[in-house]
A and B are shown apart, each in its own frame.
Chain A
Amino acid sequence: MNSLLLHIGARILAWPLLLISIWILYRGHNLPGGGFIGGLLAAGVFMLYDLSGYGRPKRGFFSLSPFFFLPLGLGIAVLSTLPGLLSGGTFMEGIWLPGFELPLLGSVHLGTPFVFDIGVWFTVIGFVILLNETLASEEDPS
């Protein structure tokens, strides 16, 4: 069952949804959100593409494979544990850069927990789209 409407809808929604997802990822440290929720939201775009039956774009972010996202996410998460250890602290100790001001975003605090959350974000995206791809792979036994 292919739906052109859904496909076009997905194309229109794709980038705004991704932006919202990244925004949710970013604001997670202070407001509801975070890597898990943001990752689920971004994965939703992939799912919309898959459900429409016309497949995903051939290039760009939404063409990436789950086997790209999973190792990337886990790798970022693991790497984020090291700065604490290397700077003489313990494993996974949070290291923060000094805060600075940015237009639109206000005061920005970046640190290893945020990097870790980015790893979670990628992993969750890879997880959902791999599951969806796998379970949907029986479609159209042509």
Chain B
Amino acid sequence: MPLYLPILITLFLAALSPWWVARHRPSFIIAGGLLQFGMAAHFITLLASSATGGEVVRAHAPNLFPTRLIEWSFAGNSWSLLFAVMITGIGLLVFLFAQGYFGSSAKGHRFYASLLTFEAAMLGVVLADHAVLLFLFWELTSVSSFFLIAYNHLDKEARWNALQALLVTGIGGVAMLAGFLILGNEWGTFSIESWRTLALDGTSVPFAALCLILLGAITKSALFPFFFWLPNAMSAPAPVSSYLHSATMVKAGIFLIGALHPLFQTSQPIMITIVVLGALTSVTGLVLGWIQTDTKKILAYTTLSVLGMLALLMGVGSPDALKVAVLVMVGHACYKAGLFMAAGAVDKATGCRDIRKLGGLRQVLPVLGIASLVLALSKSGFPPLLGFVGKEYAYKLGFAGPGSAYALLAFLFIINVGLMALALRVACTPFRKDRPVGGPDPAETKALSPLIMVGPVVLAVAGIVLGILAPWLLSPVVSAVVSHIHGQNVVLSLKLWHGFQPALFLSIATLAAGWWIYRSTSVSGAQNLITRFLGGFEGAYAASYAGLMSGSAWLSGKLQSGDLRAYLRCFFTGVLLLVGYMWWSSGFGFVSLPEDAGPIPWVEWMLLPIIAVFLWLIVTTYSRILALLAFAVIGFGIAFLFARLGAPDLALTLLLVETFTIVLFVHIIRGLPPLRTIVPLRGRLLDIVIASGVGIMMTLLVLKTQVVQAQPAISSTLTEWSYAMAKGKNVVNVILVDFRALDTLGEITVVALAAVGVNMLWKKGNPSTTKP
């Protein structure tokens, strides 16, 4: 099965979903669930074969327009397949969870279309081997996430947050594209695999390209200083948060850093930047997460913290650090998606997300409570859960490193303690024994669909199973992934029990400290100096957004005056200046009549006075209809000239167009006020200067084209080809419908759209028009 087939099928299902969901919801859920289950199983097989030394899976889709700039080439290496497994596996759980969460809500069809589009786009991001293709999918994830965040589109705040996420990640994406283009230009290929090989072979990488690509990665993964969009994106419904904002989209930046790791590794400043930004993000997440009262917001800030840690580990870049990064990432995808689902389920059952008011739910939602606890313990790094494996290796990394690694160790310790306290706070508080005053009554909780439970329970079980079986299941995968990222073969083995080593004692200390902090603190929700300072980054976004808005309003007010005369003056003056400059810089090349011009026949001379007389009429008359007719006469004159000079097609077309233009203009003229002089004399003198200038310029240009021939004329080649290749003797027509048929297709599309546009504008401007 070609690698891109899952993407296509998912997109197809997304296109079908609005119709299908509205007709028969259960069959849609079953079909979608089966599809995602199949895809997950498929990618797991691929990942397994890639982990056991299999070849990289490649696929090329046929290209409609062969060009180097975009190729439908895909490659499934261990790193991208690991992501594909997470995307489809968690995608399946989220898909089922969403059905339980929304029930049979009427807006569901919109949701599934966006969700599946997102899933396909995300698969595209990780599987694309062509950089520009990756960019396309990257932007598609931004766009589909915009619709998902703004799911409650009547909520003004949700719309603002969705726009914020779109703009921040979109700007980063464009920067990334610029970086890709620089690299592609420099190296002559857009294949990411080739880039990696080139970088590993020691080719120097353009620094600007690296910076731009990094900008794309840090905006997408909400790293410092662009962290603010992620917590705000929590206005999305819970299924979206558990999918996009924990397991998949926000990890796209990490994915990119991993995929292009050999490139980044060539530049020390870039790696240090990644480390510093990662550390700052981690701390920011904890500090801001500490004061949150909304369960989903707390989870979002801890996600930031983990993303920061991942970036930091990627930036350190040694095989051991990468190993920790991969383990932490997989663990995080499992427990964070599960915790988001659990928070969503609690919200659904009680209608409350305020951590200060929740409590006493352990009797009514026992299964969810246990699943939450397991997920939170995995997050805290409790043995033998998956989170423990990652944390243990992180500490070992710190102990193994030279001097400065103690800073890393201290940092990891603080982050882990903070994460554990927050994890317990968000996961265990709703299920504590006593109920706070004023909170929702556990007796009045709504019954939850069993589908809601599937996600948290499966992910909790996965955390246990993967943790215990890590040495056997994860070792080969992690080895393969780390080898891929690093670019050299690395063989790693994972162990659960490392013996009594410093890392173990630090782990125990972490658990104790985390537990103690969870028990002894409560959340107030009050801001302090540091959180206000960090909030300033969002303020900077809001200010630049407002500045952009008012700035462009001012600018378009200045430029788009709505006065046709002003536009024409600007346009023609600009053209005059540009052409004049070119002419001046080429040393005023002398213009002469072509030597073989020959005498001009008298019939063509006759046109001159006719055109002159009617021009005079146009300029002086105060009757619009007269001016129009005079224009048409000039047009007919030119058509006559075309016919004389051997362009019958042009002449015919011009005749018809002139005729129809009169008819159409007559309709418009009826509604216009009579012509009168509104431009003062000085303005008219300026107009005369501009008009004469343009006239002289055009005359000179026409004369110049007769003598200048920069390249061999294409017309003779086309004439030669016309009958031989396109079986047509009329070259003009052959060009239109064969040689340049794509242009024509574009033109008739524009023509059709223009007519529809005029139709709609006219109706809008004349509401009284009630033509059937």
Which A residues are within 8 Å of any B CB, using their own CB?
28-37, 40-41, 43-44, 47, 51, 66, 70, 73-74, 77-78, 81, 85, 90-92, 94, 96, 109, 111, 113-114, 116-117, 119-120, 123-124, 126-128, 130-139, 141
Contact = CB atoms under 8 A, between A and B. Distances in A.
Interface string B742-753: 101100110110
B771 interface: yes
Interface stretch (B277-285, B292-300, B532-540, B648-656): B648-656
A131 B748 contact: no
B741 A138 contact: no
A130 B762 CA distance: 12
A113 B649 contact: no
B671 interface: yes
A135 B728 contact: no
Contacts of A96: 727
Nearest to A128: B660
Nearest to B770: A137
Contact of B752 (A73, A92, A114, A116): A73
B142 to A, nearest CB: 29
A85 B105 CA distance: 43
A87 B667 CA distance: 48
Nearest to B656: A40
B555 interface: no
Contacts of A117: 733, 736-737
A6 B559 CA distance: 46
Q: Which of the four size classes fits the interface of chain B?
A: 35 or more
A43 B748 CA distance: 15
A120 B748 contact: yes
B733 A33 contact: yes
Contact of A91 (B65, B660, B752): B65
B663 A47 contact: yes
B751 A30 contact: no
Given A29-B734, A30-B729, A32-B648, A133 B742 contact: no
Contacts of B660: 40, 43-44, 47, 128, 132
Given A94-B727, A124-B751, A132-B667, 4 more contacts: A43-B660, A77-B748, A131-B664, A132-B663
A116 B315 CA distance: 56
A28 to B, nearest CB: 5
B667 A136 contact: yes
Nearest to B759: A134
Contact of A94 (B726, B755, B763, B771): B726
Contacts, number: 144
A41 B758 CA distance: 21
Contacts of A130: 755-756, 758-759
Given A116-B744, A127-B752, A29 B729 contact: yes
Contact of B762 (A113, A123, A135): A135
B681 interface: no
B447 interface: no
B64 interface: yes
A90 B751 contact: no
B769 to A, nearest CB: 5
Chain B binding surface, main DSSP class: helix
B64 A29 contact: no
13 contacts: A29-B728, A32-B648, A33-B730, A34-B733, A34-B736, A74-B749, A77-B744, A81-B745, A113-B734, A126-B752, A131-B759, A132-B660, A137-B766
Given A90-B66, A113-B741, A123 B748 contact: yes
B738 interface: yes
Interface in B687-739: 726-730, 732-734, 736-738
B283 to A, nearest CB: 53
Contacts of B762: 134-135, 137
B657 interface: yes
Contacts of A90: 66
Given A35-B737, A132-B664, A137 B769 contact: yes
Given A116-B744, A117-B737, A32 B649 contact: yes
B730 A34 contact: yes
Contacts of A124: 748, 751
Contacts of B671: 138
Contact of B741 (A32, A43, A92, A136): A92
B676 interface: no
Interface in B482-538: none
A54 to B, nearest CB: 16
Contact of B728 (A30, A74, A92): A30
Nearest to B738: A113
B738 A94 contact: yes
Contact of A51 (B657, B663, B670): B663
A31 B758 CA distance: 33
A77 B737 CA distance: 10
Contacts of B744: 77, 116, 120
B656 A41 contact: yes
A123 B752 CA distance: 7
B743 to A, nearest CB: 11
Nearest to A117: B737
B737 A109 contact: no
Nearest to B648: A32
A120 to B, nearest CB: 6
A65 to B, nearest CB: 10
Contacts of B756: 70, 130
B730 A126 contact: no
Contacts of B663: 47, 51, 132
Contacts of A113: 726, 728, 734, 737-738, 741
Nearest to B647: A32
Nearest to B668: A135
A70 B752 contact: yes
Nearest to B65: A91
Nearest to A67: B756
B737 to A, nearest CB: 4
A53 to B, nearest CB: 13
A30 B730 contact: yes
A121 B50 CA distance: 55
Contact of A40 (B657, B732, B763): B657
B656 A138 contact: no
Nearest to A141: B768
Nearest to B663: A47
Contacts of B763: 134
A74 B737 contact: no
A50 to B, nearest CB: 9
Contacts of B755: 66, 70, 126-127, 130-131, 134
A104 B742 CA distance: 33
A74 B749 CA distance: 7
Contacts of B769: 137-138
A66 B663 CA distance: 18
A81 B752 CA distance: 18
A44 B656 contact: yes
A124 B84 CA distance: 48
B157 to A, nearest CB: 40
